[in-house]
Chain A
Amino acid sequence: MHVLVDLNRCESYGQCVFAAPDVFRFRGEESLEYDHVPDGASDAAVRRAALACPVQAITLGTPVEEAPLREVTCR
């Protein structure tokens, strides 16, 4: 699972840090930083974090297609 936080929207409430402390953390008082590619073991915690975010700043993605590092032609 891949994670993206819209840091314009994030208001540093910290719910995500509480839900998934291995993935999200504060640097300084108000600056959120996070691992975009957390370990699969954190998936459930990351989903909880995304649900808990009061401003819905967290987007989750699962690479469903093949990694596009070679030419992939569909359709």
Chain B
Amino acid sequence: MSASGAERVVIVGASLAGLRTAEALRRAGFAGRLTLIGDEPYEPYDRPPLSKSVLSGWLGTDRLLLPRTRDLHARWLLGVPATGLDLEAKHVRLADGRAVGFDRVVLATGASARPWPEPFQGALHGVHVLRGRDDADRLRAHLAELAGTGARLLVIGGGFTGSEVASSGRDMGLSVTVTQRGSAPLAGALGGFVGSVIGERQRAHGVDLRLRTTVHSLVDDGSGRLRGARLCDGELLDARVAVVAMGSVRATGWLRGSGLVADERGVSCDAACRALGADGIVVGGVYAVGDVARWRHPGFDADPVSFEHWGNALAQAETVAHNIMSDDVRQNDALPAFWSDQFGMNIKAVGMPGIADQVVLTQGSFEHGPFVAAYGLAGVTIGAVAVNSPRVLDGYAAMITERAPFPPAVNAADGPDCPVAGEAGIPRPATEPAGPAAASPLTAPAIVREGQP
């Protein structure tokens, strides 16, 4: 039993965040009944390689299982979705009619890919999204079929997932077009300035990058297959395969009617991962972890967002386990961090570059080769991104934690002679609708289709 008296913990969502929470609970001595509920018919697996090692063909999707470092002695209910949460009766309802009772419940249902808004077009053969194993298998098979034929891959949305898919497509020798509503790829996470730098490098790898471009409609060839895409400027772009990479929607539909504050932006919770009710007050015994959690990081002056990063799931899992097991409430203040691999670039970021107002080059060069840039908000250093410089970020992380003034005094040997800070170019909702979770690195600015009925 935990210090707080929980005998039964139910975790809904059996992926990175759910599995890690289960492990952390057992490590912390939880000896009660532990149930993991997951709708995918697979053991927990790792998602980041789906757009990288899997699409490029090096790893099969059966090579991604997450290690389990201990016996969980858990009841696993896999392949069955949770369909409801009843906080009065304290049970989770399952699609097969069962109800699973709990003393504490952990919401770890993550997110799903935002679908193409027009369902018939979205269902055309050749139109894909990428979130899970099955998506990756289908997309990989389709790309492999087209490799070497000179066919075009269209990627709708230049966020991290879209950019990584584009990179894998180029590796397979496909011609690749990326449409991006905003002025640069990755702008929601890294700002328009650094996004443009990366966009130029994507172009140098042969990507046909169409900025300030939206897709108006996906066009049928008459037999239910994709023929191409009508762009906002009227051009009909030929494409047999398209990947809709317009960001994600948090998987909260099953929480409707539960009394929690939950929508496609996530489950509203505090920095201790405790779910909040409509009155903003903590709902006892309910925790949210991973991509599905929407919260305000205590270290930054920012709106609540869901941090759709792998590392966030790990950090929050520890916080939830601690807070279930102990009466002393711990906030998760781990510095956000994420990475992306694309076009030969290893991109690593710390802090919250997505809320910055200014950016400055601190090491290397934007023109070519490795570089590091620091981000500031109102004169305080709040983030950094390193391209092909994976060994420098600890120092920047310390500056961010200490709230060092911006621009920071880095004085690196490979730094510019006189650093000049510029506008970070983060899309603001008022000027550039970037979707509800613009601060998330995996959320491409939302593509709004013009002329939709």
Q: Is the CB of B46 within 8 A of A4?
A: yes
Cross-chain contact of A11 among B41, B58, B344, B390 (Cβ < 8 A):
B390
Q: Is the CB of A36 within 8 A of B64?
A: yes
Q: Is the CB of B67 within 8 A of A71?
A: no
Q: Is the CB of B67 within 8 A of A2?
A: yes
Cross-chain contact of B348 among A3, A8, A74 (Cβ < 8 A):
A8
Contact residues on B (Cβ < 8 Å of other chain), bracket: 35 or more
Please tell me if B404 contacts chain A, counting CB pairs below 8 Å.
no
Please tell me if B311 contacts chain A, counting CB pairs below 8 Å.
yes
Q: Is the CB of A74 within 8 A of B67?
A: no
Query: Quick one: CB contact mask for B120-141 with A, threshold 8 Å, 1 for yes?
Result: 0000000000000000000000
Q: Is the CB of A35 within 8 A of B341?
A: no
> Please, which residues of chain A bring their CB within 8 A of the CB of B348?
8
CA distance A37 to B63 in the complex (A): 5
Q: Is the CB of B346 within 8 A of A31?
A: yes
A27 and B69 in contact, given A8-B311, A12-B346 (Cβ under 8 angstroms) = no
Cross-chain contact of A30 among B43, B68, B76, B388 (Cβ < 8 A):
B388
B25 → A minimal CB distance (Å): 14
Cross-chain contact of B341 among A8, A28, A60 (Cβ < 8 A):
A28
Q: Is the CB of A8 within 8 A of B67?
A: no
B23 → A minimal CB distance (Å): 9
Q: Is the interface of A mostly helix, strand, loop or mixed?
A: loop
> Please, which residues of chain B bring their CB within 8 A of the CB of A2?
65-68
> Please, which residues of chain A bring their CB within 8 A of the CB of B380?
none
Please tell me if B53 contacts chain A, counting CB pairs below 8 Å.
yes
Please tell me if A51 contacts chain B, counting CB pairs below 8 Å.
no
Please tell me if A40 contacts chain B, counting CB pairs below 8 Å.
no
CA distance A11 to B69 in the complex (A): 23
Which residue numbers of B lie inside 8 Å of A, CB to CB?
33, 36, 41, 43, 45-46, 48-49, 52-53, 56, 58-59, 62-79, 310-311, 314, 337-339, 341, 344-346, 348, 388-391
A16 → B minimal CB distance (Å): 14
Q: Is the CB of B314 within 8 A of A6?
A: yes
- Closest B residue to A13 by beta carbon equals B391
A27 and B53 in contact, given A7-B339, A8-B310 (Cβ under 8 angstroms) = yes
> Please, which residues of chain A bring their CB within 8 A of the CB of B52?
27, 31, 33
Cross-chain contact of A36 among B63, B69, B75 (Cβ < 8 A):
B63
- Closest B residue to A10 by beta carbon equals B390
Count contacts between A and B, CB distance < 8 Å.
Answer: 110
> Would you list 30 pairs from A and B whose C-beta atoms are within 8 A, ordered by A residue?
A2-B66, A2-B67, A2-B68, A4-B46, A7-B48, A8-B348, A11-B390, A11-B391, A27-B58, A27-B341, A28-B341, A28-B345, A28-B388, A31-B341, A33-B49, A33-B58, A36-B45, A36-B49, A36-B63, A59-B69, A62-B67, A62-B68, A65-B73, A68-B43, A68-B76, A68-B78, A69-B43, A69-B78, A72-B75, A74-B75
Tell which of A10, A31, A33, A59 has the most Cβ of chain B within 10 Å.
A31
Cross-chain contact of A4 among B62, B67, B389 (Cβ < 8 A):
B67
> Please, which residues of chain B bring their CB within 8 A of the CB of A73?
75
Q: Is the CB of B73 within 8 A of A74?
A: yes
- Closest B residue to A29 by beta carbon equals B388
Known A37-B63, A60-B67; 6 more pairs at CB < 8 Å: A2-B68, A4-B66, A59-B67, A61-B68, A65-B68, A68-B43
CA distance A67 to B77 in the complex (A): 12
A27 → B minimal CB distance (Å): 7
Cross-chain contact of A63 among B68, B346, B388 (Cβ < 8 A):
B68
Q: Is the CB of B75 within 8 A of A12?
A: no
CA distance A33 to B56 in the complex (A): 11
B47 → A minimal CB distance (Å): 11
